[in-house]
Amino acid sequence: MNRVRRAIILAAGEGTRLRPLTLDTPKALLPVNGRPMIHTILDALAQNGIRDVTVVVGYKKEKFASLPERWPGVRLVENPLYDKCNNISSLYAARAYLPGAMVLDGDQVIYDPAALDPAFDRSGYNCVWTDEPTGEWLLTLDGSGAVASCSRTGGTHGWRLYSISRWSEADGARLAGDLEWAMGQERYRSLYWDDVALFLRPEAYSLGVRPMGAGDVVEIDSLAELAAIDPGYAPYLDSGEAKDHV
């Protein structure tokens, strides 16, 4: 049995799909029903005894300055390439902290802290089983419970991947090295970091899934998804004045 010792939260992006909300506020700091998204993550991590947390910042990095004061153990690491590369550059910036880490995107709302349980058998992702069509990344498993394939375009009857993953000491160290290799090649800098283990070097990993309920975690990718869980944003869906809410 492995156990997470630390966490890495990726929060460097510009959040362009949530403009104009993100013109003044980083996506991870947008309030949902009164609480910034990243606060729900940090509180859930603390409830699970995970207090060594690296937050990777970039866009409007100064807005995150108060986090280490409120959550002792939080450190901020800057990604200077946040506006030039995909999020592969963010995890690359925090690669020294990958062994034994949980990796999360900052644009999630955690409703059930148990979804961030630090104990795990196999490195891999939080997932929700779906029989319904989805356009999200979808994993299928082999007979041993290891990830056999991943569809970037979704599908049906598979494990929908969420942006919460756990990495053993060995796999985390391997991933750190593979990130260095990938970032050393210009053609890979436009990728998501998940592409490294799932598509570029799948033979080097034996990943699994950590099942959770569909409502345990909500990922926010659009203003419509934000308004669906916080009705306060609904009036701004078409008004172009969403930033007045934050």
pLDDT tens-digit series, residues 137-167? 999 999 999 999 999 999 999 999 999 999 9
In a domain, 143, yes or no: no
pTM for the complete prediction? Answer: 0.94
What mean pLDDT, rounded, does the chain reach? 94
Residue 206 to residues 50, 105, 167: CA-CA distances in angstroms?
24, 22, 11
Mean pLDDT on 45-60: 98
Residue 239: per-residue pLDDT: 56
| Domain extent for 221 | 2-121+163-191+217-238
Residue 219 has pLDDT above 50, yes or no: yes
Categorize the per-residue pLDDT at 192 as very low, low, confident or very high, splitting at 50, 70 and 90.
Answer: very high
Residue 52 has pLDDT above 50, yes or no: yes
Residue 234 has pLDDT above 90, yes or no: no
In a domain, 74, yes or no: yes
In a domain, 142, yes or no: no
In a domain, 114, yes or no: yes
Residue 243 has pLDDT above 90, yes or no: no
In a domain, 179, yes or no: yes
For residue 24, what is the domain's CATH number? 3.90.550.10
Residue 219 φ/ψ region, left for φ over 0, alpha for ψ in the -120 to 50 degree band, beta for the rest: beta
Contact 98, 183 (CB under 8 A): no
Mean pLDDT on 35-48: 98
In a domain, 152, yes or no: no
Q: φ, ψ for residue 118 (rounded to 5)? A: -75, -15
Tokens representing residue 37 in the block: 């998204």
Q: How many domains does the chain have?
A: 1
Residue 237: per-residue pLDDT: 82
In a domain, 211, yes or no: no
In a domain, 101, yes or no: yes
Contacts of residue 91, Cβ cutoff 8 Å, sequence gap at least 6: 8, 10, 56, 98, 103, 179, 193
Residue 244 has pLDDT above 50, yes or no: no
Over the stretch 70-122, which tens digit does the pLDDT of each residue have? 999 999 999 999 999 999 999 999 999 999 999 999 999 999 999 999 999 99
Q: How far is CA 216 from the centre of its chain?
A: 14
Residue 241 has pLDDT above 50, yes or no: no
Residue 236: per-residue pLDDT: 76
